[in-house]
Amino acid sequence: MQIDHLQFYCCPITQENLELTILKKSTKILDGIEVEIIEEGILTSGICFYPIIKSIPRLIVEAVYDYRNFLLTHLKNFEQKEKVLLYTYGNIIKQAARKNKRTKESFELEWKFFDYEKDKTWDASPQKMLDRFLLETDESNTSIQNKLILDVGCGNGLLDVLIANKKATVIGFDFSLSIEKAFEQNTNSKVIFVQADVQHPPFKKNIFDIVHASGILIHTNNTEHSFNCLTPLVKSDGKLSCWLYHPRKNFIHNCFNFIRKFTSKLPLKLQIVFHAVFLFPISFIIKKLKGNQQNWREMMVDILDWMTPEFRWEHTHEEAKSWFIKNNFSSIKITTQELFGFNIIGIKH
């Protein structure tokens, strides 16, 4: 994190401004220049506190649980402060921790299979990823210049670097630890990574030109509620863009959805064994027969992405349109349609 990033953040619980205490500085090469960054610190707002670890602000409501050891070591009078925090906001913190636990774990594991040196993201080369983003958001290489873009549930973070290479500033956030590798691989000063939860976004309201949520809202406990949490972040005349699964009338597809209803409830380790032994060989043979070029890790990411997340909702185009209308968005448009899902955009008024 760098000091000027503070302008974008607020407390995910109270939405108040955050104050920074720096614990440790280090350097990172960004745009070919060695710059100073904050490697460790604490962000506070009233009685709330969040650590900065490995240069990433950990702005999740449940940070007090996830980073207890760090806070115990680095925050003065931690135990006393923890009591006050939990007495005041215990319900919201416990609820977020409960709701996020399994989804965080499943995506953390999924992204561990991804090799930044060798693998493609969702079967796409970097150029194809950028083209897909521009098509989905109805933007162009030039129209995104100097824009402030929020990438919601950014996963491996590779798209964010590609967008920033076109001179946009991009904040990518994800609540899983995939954010750490995303941060490590980035060398563009216009990309910022934060650990955050879409249902408690720690960002100032009305500041983003484009908020893009690709394949994430459908993995939360309530897609429409998550959508509603994003609308305040978009600035007036700004754009909200979402990629969502739609229902399919396909026997195999619905069989997989039926299987995952049961398997996704198993302990994660058991799921991995199950999918590696049963689904992976079938999927591998079918894909190879169809001439698919994916390597085994890419195939495994696909399988885990479908089978392991606790939630995986499918929505009709009309349903998604109604969310935009209820939030007073206009120029609502389906920009892309694929086998599994579609992208929809709207402009805020």
Ligand X SMILES: C[S@@+](CC[C@H](N)C(=O)[O-])C[C@H]1O[C@@H](n2cnc3c(N)ncnc32)[C@H](O)[C@@H]1O
Question: Based on CB atoms, which residue is closest to ligand X, 41 or 155?
Answer: 155
Question: CB neighbours (10 Å) of residue 280?
Answer: 18
Q: Which two tokens stand for residue 249?
A: 């009338």
- CA dihedral over 111, 117, 122, 128, signed as positive or negative: positive
Name the nearest CA neighbour of 223 among 156, 316, 125.
Answer: 316
Confirm or reject binding of residue 264 to ligand X (CB under 6 A).
no
Question: How many Å apart are CA 246 and CA 161, to the nearest integer?
Answer: 28
Confirm or reject binding of residue 107 to ligand X (CB under 6 A).
yes
Q: Residue 14: is it exposed, middle or buried by C-beta count within 10 angstroms (0-12/13-18/19+)?
A: middle
Confirm or reject binding of residue 51 to ligand X (CB under 6 A).
no
49, β-bridge pairs: 44
Using the contact rule CB under 6 A, the part of the chain among 30-38, 78-86, 216-224, 314-322 near ligand X is: 216-224
Confirm or reject binding of residue 198 to ligand X (CB under 6 A).
yes
Name the nearest CA neighbour of 207 among 180, 230, 174.
Answer: 230
Alpha helix (H) residue ranges in the chain:
63-66, 68-74, 78-112, 126-137, 158-164, 178-185, 223-230, 251-263, 268-274, 280-289, 296-307, 317-326
Using the contact rule CB under 6 A, the part of the chain among 14-22, 138-146, 175-183, 250-258 near ligand X is: 175-183
Show the site string, 111-150: x = touches ligand X by CB under 6 A, - = not.
----------x-----------------------------
In the range 273-312, which residues lie near ligand X by CB under 6 A?
305
Give the one residue of 220, 264, 271, 308 binding ligand X; rule: CB under 6 A: 220
Using the contact rule CB under 6 A, the part of the chain among 21-29, 192-200, 230-238, 272-280 near ligand X is: 192-200
Using the contact rule CB under 6 A, the part of the chain among 76-84, 152-160, 247-255, 336-344 near ligand X is: 152-160
Size of the site for ligand X (CB under 6 A): 19
Give the one residue of 136, 197, 298, 302 binding ligand X; rule: CB under 6 A: 197
Confirm or reject binding of residue 215 to ligand X (CB under 6 A).
yes
Binding site for ligand X (CB under 6 A): 103, 107, 121, 153-155, 174-176, 178, 197-199, 214-216, 219-220, 305
